Chains A and B, each alone.
Chain A
Amino acid sequence: MMAEQPPEWAETILRLSLRCKDRDAVSGDLLEEYRASVVPARGTSSADLWYVRQVAGFVWRATGLWAVLFSGTFVARQAWDFFVPTHDFVFRSELTTYTGVALLAASAFWTAWRSRSFAAGVVMTVVMCEIAAIMSVIGVSALLAVRHDPATLNAAANSGGLEEAFLLPFMAVIPALIVGSAAAAVGTVGARLAAVGRNARL
């Protein structure tokens, strides 16, 4: 009989979210629990759901801080534009763009460094970006729920409109891929060189 297998995509995401040294032990623990306890007790469909929930927890632990910072930058910029209107957006745009790019690069570099995997750096940064997009939409919605007087809505329209406020966070996946790839490459090479250096000293 074939052993039960959790969703392959979820297992791939799990392994990418883990540090290099934990990859086999942690994914093995989850697989063992899935096969030995959860499938016999709940059946395959419910066990798959359990597995995905566990993976979501690992992904949140790996990306949550970056997602909060990234979405926080976006929501803060929207609040600035909505509540302190301006006609000159150059300084604000430069500030938030550079901050966003720095966060994407830092996320990809850190993930690639700890996992020693280029793919982990890129994929987890894209996942982080999408989590941040959902958080940004919630954040901007909350801003507008608190203040939606005509002046605020006019300021929102002048700063790019509500479409931009709700769609732009999801579009950030494109820079996440580009910046994430570059930073993940640097992180992977750096981590491998550091490991070679450590081994040489031993």
Chain B
Amino acid sequence: MEQPAVTGPKVRVDIRNVNLAFGATQVLRDISLTVEPGEFFALLGPSGCGKSTLLRLIAGFNQAQSGTVTIDGADITSIPPWRRDIGMVFQNYALWPHMTVAQNVAFGLEERKLPRADIARRTAAALELVGLADYGSRRPNQLSGGQQQRVAVARTIAIEPKVLLLDEPLSNLDAKLRVHMRTELLALQRKLGITTIFVTHDQEEALSISDRVAVLDGGAIQQVGTPMDLFDRPHNRFIASFVGTINLLRGTAQKSAGGVTFESPLIGKVSLATDNPLSGAAEIAFRPHTLSLAAPDSVGATDRIWVTGNIAHREFLGEFVRYRIDAQGTDIVADQPHFGGNVEFVPGSQVRVGISPAQVRLLPA
């Protein structure tokens, strides 16, 4: 069976200085972004951050007050949605209940006035691609959530769009199916090579399948980078706490030779190597899984900064145990990998927490 192929070369999407407001509410603030050809790109952020609005802007459903969207250099800002050739998979799939699965998939091809034979062939090919070749005559409401999602994808890729937009495509699926479908989506995207932009509020989803991620908050882009970049080198405290779990500690920074000296009541003075030397009020961030815990009377490794505290709370999460530690009034979360029968600390007991300076990131306060 023939498969839909991307006819033209892979395209680049450029968003330049986009501002958008609904009435008095500023939803997008000076957004600039480039999505490389063939990239699987995620827009990540909490609800209300503007990520869906940005996606709908690319599809043509929202109009910016200023700024441009270009595809391979061609300005599409004033082109109506139906002439953009940008496929979008809606969060609720938006399958038309009065049409069969095949009619749904054929819709876009019919609107393009293709010959009948081509429509039939490409409809069948798209359904084949998502593994629903035998479901063409069913109605959408006779399908499971996962199948409906595949139909929505088939309907979109049938028109061989230049860009594929996915609006929280997995949010309506149950947890297990979600993990399965995201690998499937990625495999499909790799096979077709379409430049794909994908909106999600689930950081695990974004980190696990995207080539690059843009994190939005309050209508502005906070950071763009590979998943590993975002996790290891967050630019600010929002990114640090939104992507993964993190401990933050306030203090003051002082530029010094080879880096920065950070000082706070809890850990005293400590020298940090940083690519972003700053002075004044600052924060250090460190991940729970980089911490070591030790009994109060033990001798810890000397390359770590040790602080003492009390175990306030303990959560058993299977692969690891998460401790919430009250270190002289400061909350610290520490994750310890769990193996059968290893020593666990009991709530109420004293503990020493070892912070590795190499794993500490300095952030502006």
Q: Real complex partners, A and B?
A: no
